[in-house]
Amino acid sequence: MKMLRRSIALATVVLLLGAMSARAQTTLRIGLAEDPDILDPTLARTYVGRIVFAAFCDKLFDIDAKLNIVPQLALSHETSSDGKEVTLKLRPGVKFHDGETFDAAAAKFSLDRHLTLPSSFRRPELAAVDHVDIVDPLTIKLVLKTAYAPLVAQLADRAGMMVSPKAAKDAGDRFGLHPVCAGPYKFVERVPQDRIVFEKFADYWNKDQVFIDRIVYLPIVDATVRLANLKSGGLDIMERLLATDVKDVRADPKLKLAATLELGYRGITLNIGNDKTRGPLSQSDKVRQAFDLSLDRDAINQVAFNGEFMPGNQWLSPEHPYYQKAFPVRGRDLAKARMLLKEAGISGRIAVDFMVPKGAENESVAQMIQAMAGEAGFDMKIRVTEFATSLKQAEAGEYQAYYLQWSGRVDPDGNSYIFLKSNAPQNYSFYSNAEADKLLEDARISEDPAQRKAIYEKLTARVLNDEPIVYIYHQRILIAHTTRVEGFSPVPDGLVRVVGVKLK
């Protein structure tokens, strides 16, 4: 009898342990390179914030690894023959984290909020939209002021993120402190500069592909420290691995590397329209071309990034379908650079205020640029600046050359218009050219890829002559994770998508 009771007790313990194990929460810890700005898709503007949004704020559309635009909260889109109406069919059965239903009224609310909130950073992305009509409970129509080919691509980013109307109305300008969206995870807490915590949303529309209970984002600015945390088990995934650490990760049997070429670029924006000192870079395209020819892009890639990145000379990488092959990357040519300076009437060294966002990789590249350009006669005076401060100074024109990275967008318009169009919001070079303006507008109107590519070829020729931005290279998005992580696949926008990811 004692043996029977002991067996029953043992069986009970085993069952309890099994139940506890089944209920044990899995937590995915992701190391970020910075702490994001506000978690409100209408107001946010940082790349790292987009990484966090991917876990909790679904969009109307998404992109895949091959740059196709795919359904998310919208199932389909149809554009009218004149390009001025875009009709979206919405996914049924979707709930926001507060239990409210996602429908046409909610989609209209989110888009109207992006368009009308005074401090919205989405307004320029949706500027072509005149108004949004509700066709039926699961259909909306975007009525445009003019045809706008990049619209659906914009809806595959923050401009397409949907927020709960009830939560947004109740919270007002404090919505970003406790955001409510319709993604796989719902917001729990945020401790600035320490952690952001989310938990699985039980009513997510695609819940069968959500396998992890909690996600904790940990901002760790130093990439070396992030990697050390990954190796020690303090992190499961880290974004923005240094290229110089790739060999180390590949050699570690407990780690894996996920890499893909980015959509964006790294380049040097030149202040040609608001340079208070009226230096030579702002006075002559020949001087800017000479500066370009002084740089050895391949050497920068090999020395600073162990050859992992891709040299480039346009706002799109040589692997992008809209890259203009008629204008390949040129090699360094010091003799021609000096000749151009002579033609521009320049004698003696050219002092350049070179603003560089703080960071080991940025500063290393800046020093290489300083040395290379120095051989042609440019005295690049590096001024290391906090990133947020550098943006403010760029907007005010308080610089001459600015080493800047852009995370990129899937449509070529997203890498060009806001930087090159006269008076555009991120035109930090203050570049203004009537021909370029017309080409940028024409490329937005055409829906035909071949016609758009021909327009961008003309734009590329114009911009490479004027050189408001000297494009240097395209990085590979380097995301490292432990072997416990399964099902993760990189996408060229660099966002860490957590749907489908499992922890062993």
| Average pLDDT for 420-440 | 97
Q: What is the pLDDT of residue 1?
A: 45
Q: Which pLDDT score, from 0 to 100, does residue 2 have?
A: 46
Per-residue pLDDT, 3: 46
Structure confidence at residue 20 (pLDDT)? 42
| Phi and psi at residue 110, to the nearest 5° | -65, -45
242-265 mean pLDDT: 96
Q: What are the φ and ψ backbone dihedral angles of 284, each rounded to 5 degrees?
A: -145, 130
Q: How confident is the model at residue 359 (pLDDT cuts 50, 70, 90)?
A: confident
Numbered ranges of CATH 3.10.105.10 in the chain:
265-474
H or E, element range at 189 = strand 185-191
> Does 18 have pLDDT greater than 60?
no
Instruction: Provide the 3-class DSSP secondary structure of residue 367.
Output: helix
b (16+ CB within 10 A) / e for 114-146: bbebeebbbbebbebbeebeeeeebbbbbebee
Looking at the chain, the domain(s) classified CATH 3.90.76.10 span: 58-166
Confidence of residue 155 (pLDDT cuts 50, 70, 90): very high
Max Cα-Cα span within the chain: 106
pLDDT tens sequence across 395-411: 999 999 999 999 999 99
For residue 156, pLDDT beyond 60: yes
Q: Is 278 left (phi over 0), alpha (psi -120 to 50) or beta?
A: left
Under the banding of pLDDT at 50, 70 and 90, the label for residue 34 is very high
Question: From CA 419, how far away is CA 409, in angstroms rounded?
Answer: 13
Q: Where in the chain is the domain with CATH 3.40.190.10?
A: 27-32+183-262+477-503
Among 13-17, 171-175, 457-461, where is mean pLDDT lowest? Answer: 13-17
- Please, are residues 28 and 185 in contact by the beta-carbon 8 Å criterion? no
58-166 CATH pick, 3.90.1150.10, 3.90.76.10, 3.30.70.20, 3.40.50.1970: 3.90.76.10
Q: What share of the chain has pLDDT > 70, as a percent?
A: 95
pLDDT band of residue 380 (cuts 50, 70, 90) is very high
Mean pLDDT of 427-456: 97
Architecture of domain 27-32+183-262+477-503: 3-Layer(aba) Sandwich (3.40)
Region of 29 (left: φ > 0; alpha: ψ -120 to 50; beta: rest) is beta
Q: Which pLDDT score, from 0 to 100, does residue 145 have?
A: 97
CATH superfamily of this structure's domain 265-474: Dipeptide-binding Protein; Domain 3 (3.10.105.10)
Q: What is the pLDDT of residue 96?
A: 98
The number of helix segments (H) and strand segments (E) in the chain equals 16, 21
**DSSP assignment string, 454-484:** HHHHHHHHHHHHH-SEEEEEEPEEEEEEETT
| Mean pLDDT over the full length of the chain | 94
pLDDT tens string 456-500: 999 999 999 999 999 999 999 999 999 999 999 999 999 999 999
pLDDT tens digits, one per residue of 303-350:
999 999 999 999 999 999 999 999 999 999 999 999 999 999 998 999
